[in-house]
Amino acid sequence: MNVEYVDAIGYGAAILTTLAFLPQAFKVLRTRQTRDISLLWAIAMTAGVFLWLCYGYASGSMPMIVANAVTLALLLAILGCKLYCK
């Protein structure tokens, strides 16, 4: 498959999966409510996305790097509120 098509698929997936976290992150930051979010989920997702970011960096995949960097920032905001927002 052509590298340009592969990157286009990667960017499409990156945009969709990253955008999926925006509503939750905005809601958490706006309301400061994380009661319905599992701490274990937040920790596991943050760690997993961090590892995907490392993998993307190691493999030189810009779609993976960009998507996981943005998603990691959103997850860190959610995790931070889960731990510190009252």
At 56-85, the pLDDT tens digits run: 999 998 889 999 999 999 999 999 999 998
The residues spanned by each domain of the chain are: 3-84
20 to each of 5, 17, 40, 82, how far by Cα in Å? Answer: 23, 5, 19, 19
DSSP symbol at 14: H
Measured distance CA(73)–CA(22) in Å, rounded: 11
* pLDDT bucket at 49, cuts 50 / 70 / 90: very high
Per-residue model confidence (pLDDT) at position 14: 87
What predicted TM-score, i.e. pTM, was given to this entire model?
0.85
The answer on pLDDT for 6 being more than 90 is: no
Q: What CATH number has the domain spanning 3-84?
A: 1.20.1280.290
Instruction: Pull the structure tokens for residue 1.
Output: 């498959």
Task: Give the residue from 64, 60, 67, 77 showing the smallest Cα distance to 15.
Answer: 67
